[in-house]
Amino acid sequence: MRILVTGGAGFIGSNFIKYMVSKYPKYHILCYDKLTYAGNLDRLDSTDGLISYFVEGDICNEEFLDWVIDEAKIDTIVNFAAETHVDNSIESSDEFIKTNINGTHTLLKMLHKYEIKKFVQISTDEVYGALSENDKPFTENTPLAPNSPYSASKTSADLLCRSFYETYKYPIVITRCSNNYGSNQHTEKLIPKMIENIKSGKKIPIYGDGRNIRDWVHVEDHCEAIDLVLHKGKNGEVYNIGGECEKRNIDIANIVLSHLNASTDLIEYVKDRKGHDWRYAVDITKIKNELGWYPKRKFNESIKELV
């Protein structure tokens, strides 16, 4: 395979590249990343030169993207490239519309020109909207109901991918994951922000009353799932990827505080996020039954190791 990994210097993308070059040393991996504030090539140091190429580029730059795919003889695309921070999308949605929608469209247009064997769109459980306390988890058939500019932009990208499959029968698959945690995550995200603040003696900001619920999956489990979807996923399908590990935000804070032997006095409740979704949880029955994937890493063990 000759794989274009867009957003490959980001948190999940870099973990995916490291996983792939370790498991498939004969594959050619091209890391393509705009290197915004969220991209960092230091995340790829441990690949020891096994990345075939790195190209700094914007997925919205159609002419340059076209040249790169042609020059590198790409036959597979895994699209991690995205603006992902909900708070940033609330402040300004422009970059989210540009990258997440227009950028995905630019990538999809490459399928008109090149014989791409598989296109994997990395999406999010947030496209489904929010659950109440007693609702059943989202399935792949749950209607899409995004509640933030970020999730709306990812929903739009998913629908573009669906339309390109339905219209042209291109080999497109979509994955929708729950909250990821693991090494080298940007400190704007919940768990690394908590760890950094506690180690610096700063307050941990918790939205609202801290009772909002998220499902957590380790990034390495997520990468294994994407690997299976890439090789065995059925074209035109959606696969939910989750950890079957629902936690309240305040519980995460208490777990991290306990591992760092820090006082709960560091918790600071702040004004709730606008349109804050109450709960996310995904049903992973489909990927279990069809591809044999399940989350292997236990949260309590993995979070201790991470901290």
Judge whether 107 and 79 are in contact, CB under 8 Å.
Answer: yes
**Hey, CA dihedral for 187, 22, 83, 296, is it positive or negative?**
negative
The question of whether 150 is a catalytic residue gets the answer yes
The torsion defined by the Cα of 222, 228, 234 and 237, in degrees rounded to 10, comes to 0
The closest alpha carbon to 105, from 33, 168, 160, belongs to 160
DSSP strand pairing (28-33 vs 172-177) = unpaired
What single letter denotes the amino acid at residue 175?
T
Which residue type occupies 44? L
Point out the catalytic residue in the list 33, 58, 83, 126: 126
Helix (H) or strand (E) holding 173: strand 172-177
Tell me how long the chain is.
307
Which residue among the candidates 32, 150, 165, 181 is catalytic per the annotation?
Answer: 150
Active-site option among 33, 58, 125, 227: 125
Cβ neighbours of 31 (radius 10 Å):
27
Beta strands in 211-305 (DSSP E): 213-218, 238-241, 246-248, 267-270
Bridge-partner residues for 123, per DSSP?
Answer: 176
Q: In Å, what is the CA distance from 68 to each residue of 24, 120, 122, 139, 171?
A: 22, 18, 21, 36, 20
Q: How far apart are CA 55 and CA 20, in angstroms?
A: 18
Helix (H) or strand (E) holding 155: helix 149-168
Residue 126 falls in the annotated catalytic set:
yes
**DSSP helix/strand/coil, 76:** strand
Q: Which residues on adjacent β-strands are paired with residue 79? A: 6, 121
Reference 291, options 245, 220, 225; nearest CA is 225
Q: Which residues are catalytic?
A: 125-126, 150
